[in-house]
Structure 1
């Protein structure tokens, strides 16, 4: 794995990560320059049917990828803007991500019973729709605290769900893989052409957290 600094300035397009007030919980976002705005924007799935596009603000740490060329970055920025425009009703929150397409050709979310994304899988789904698989999902592993995290998410999410979505999400507790924001954002930073495997994603996730918390 290349020894590079992960946190840095973003010009046209990149990612961002935020340490939330909840211990051990981070939040991931895309960062892009909309042609209609002078400032960088944060595109992120904040919660159930809460897709937001906000100005990039100081608590977030921006993370560029230096391996994409200018033309690719421009395309990503345009597609991020389109995704926001095409999903004005929001996107459901959900704990399962299999690598199947979650956005159609117009960048509209493909909804179905039990479908949904986290802030991290929102980023994975975005790149997948453009032909880039950031992570090697076949290498992914469960970890001891995944089930507790999923239980906590379900408890917060459950009052907002229809009966059908409740059943689908509850069945994922202890069964779905968890993709952590720092691992997804860190993997985006070092991605070149091949998907990042689990062990490298964990390593780069730790490195990103170390940079975030360095004084």
Structure 2
């Protein structure tokens, strides 16, 4: 599992890297670095409720990245899919339940499955990669925690304050059952060699802590982000 500064990032035509930075509300924030045809690497990430962004490098804030280890044919397919999503920039609600959101992307088309109320920055990356036949985690092994409950309540309060959408907030609060895909877990899973993925919950915990430590070493100042 190797992370390095996004300042040193270079990508082949179909190269893909997963980026990790600090996030607000007590967590990290993740996104996808990719090459737009004939241009410099760009960053695609779900910043917040209905706020999917594509940005050129250098990205705002301090990021560390890990190059995604996938075969060339898969990389060509996935990079084309990511480029298409970055051009469409669909409106995606912010929702925590990453189990209900399985299958959110069919190729480059986003459509929330029945029972899903949106994605987080981490489940957005998970679903994009899953649609490109790059599974990262064994989601059935994920465990609830009190920390997830506390984080989820903060998210719901922020959603209510910013959007005023009581119906959506109620659905988010009801749905996630104290389960959360933490950005550090997602980044650590994406940084593994392909023969070690998809990874289970217990295995990823130590690696997620290492990813968090790598970020804190490279980027000691926390910018204000939401996810």
Q: 1:39-72: CA deviations, max 9, x gaps?
A: 111100000000000013361112112x313332
Correspondence list, 1:9-88, <5 A: 9-11=9-11, 12-20=15-23, 22=24, 24-36=26-38, 38-57=39-58, 59-65=62-68, 67-88=69-90
**Aligned with 2:137 (options 128, 135, 138):** 135
TM-score (ref. length: structure 2): 0.82
Q: Is contact 1:134–1:191 with CA below 8 Å preserved after alignment?
A: no
Q: Which residue of 2 aligns with 1:104?
A: 106
Q: CA deviation at 1:135?
A: 0.6
* Gap change, CA 1:191 and 1:176, over 3 Å in 2: farther
Instruction: Select which of 144, 147, 152 maps to 1:145.
Output: 147
Q: Is contact 1:96-1:172 (8 Å) kept?
A: yes
- Distance apart, 1:144 and its partner CA: 2.2
The unaligned stretches of length 5 or more in structure 1 are none
Residue-by-residue CA offset, 1:105-156 (whole Å, 9 max, x unaligned): 4423336565200000001111121223211111111122111100000000
- Which ranges in structure 2 are unaligned for 5 or more consecutive residues? 219-227
Contact persistence 1:13–1:32 (CA under 8 A): yes
Q: Which has the higher contact order (CA 8 A, sep 6+)?
A: 2
* Length, aligned pairs only: 207
Residues in 1 aligned to 2:164 and 2:133: alpha-carbon distance in whole angstroms: 31
Q: How does the TM-score come out when normalised to structure 1?
A: 0.86
Alignment RMSD (CA, Å): 2.2
* Contact preservation (8 Å) 1:114, 1:164: no
Is the 1:16–1:30 Cα contact (8 Å) retained in structure 2? yes
Secondary structure class of the residue paired with 1:214: helix
- Contact 1:43–1:54 at 8 Å: present in 2 too? yes
Q: 1:35 to 1:177 in 2, by over 3 A?
A: same
Asked whether the 8 Å contact 2:142–2:200 carries over to 1, the reply is: yes
Shift of 1:13: 0.8
Distance 1:101-1:32 versus aligned 2 partners, 3 A rule: same
Contact between 2:92 and 2:118, CA under 8 Å: does it hold in 1? Answer: yes
Contact kept, 8 Å, 2:106 with 2:131, in 1: the verdict is yes
